[in-house]
Amino acid sequence: MTRSPSLRPSAARAVAISDFRDLARRRLPRFLFDYIDGGSFDELTLRRNTSDLQAIALRQRVLKDVSRIDLSTDVLGQRWELPVGLGPIGLAGLNARRGEVQAARAAEMAGVPFCLSTVSACSLAEVRASVAKPFWFQLYMVRDRGFVRDMLHQAADAGCPVLLFTVDMPVPGTRHRDRRSGLSGASGLAGSLRRLAQALARPSWACDVGLRGRPHTLGNVAPLLGRRTGMEDFLAWTRDNFDPSVTWRDIDWVRENWRGPLVIKGILDPEDARLAQQAGADGVLVSNHGGRQLDGVRSTAEALPAVVDAVGDRLCVLADGGVRSGLDVVRLLALGARGVLLGRAWAFALAAAGQGGVSHMLDLMRAEMQVALALTGTARIADLGADSLDRPLERSRITPDLRSSRGPTSSPCPIPAPPS
Structural element, H or E, at residue 129: helix 124-130
Q: What CA–CA distance (Å, rounded) separates 231 from 237?
A: 9
Q: What CA–CA distance (Å, rounded) separates 308 from 300?
A: 12
Q: What CA–CA distance (Å, rounded) separates 154 from 148?
A: 10
Residue in 338, 305, 345 with CA at minimum distance from that of residue 321 = 345
At 265, is the secondary structure helix, strand, or coil? strand
Per DSSP, what are the bridge partners of residue 138? 164
Question: Kindly report the CA angle at 48 between 19 and 274, in degrees rounded to 5?
Answer: 120
**Residue 26, amino acid:** R
State how beta strands 73-75 and 78-80 pair.
antiparallel
Residue 310 backbone dihedrals phi, psi, to 5 degrees: -75, -40
Residue 71 contacts residue 329 (beta carbons within 8 Å): no
Q: What CA–CA distance (Å, rounded) separates 51 from 282?
A: 30
Edge-to-edge order in the sheet of strand 136-139: 84-86, 339-342, 316-319, 283-286, 262-267, 163-166, 136-139, 115-116
Name residues whose C-beta falls within 8 Å of residue 193's C-beta, 6 or more positions apart in sequence: none
Is 289 one of the annotated active-site residues of the chain? yes
Residue in 320, 301, 287 with CA at minimum distance from that of residue 56 = 301
Q: What CA–CA distance (Å, rounded) separates 49 from 40?
A: 13
**Cis omega (within 30 of 0) on the bond before 400?**
no
Q: What CA–CA distance (Å, rounded) separates 137 from 87?
A: 10
Residue 130 contacts residue 104 (beta carbons within 8 Å): yes
Q: How many CB atoms lie within 10 A of CB 156?
A: 17
Q: What CA–CA distance (Å, rounded) separates 179 from 344?
A: 20
From the candidates 153, 176, 289, 360, give the one annotated as an active-site residue: 289
Residue in 147, 141, 142 with CA at minimum distance from that of residue 164 = 141
Q: Where in the sequence numbering do the catalytic residues fall?
A: 289
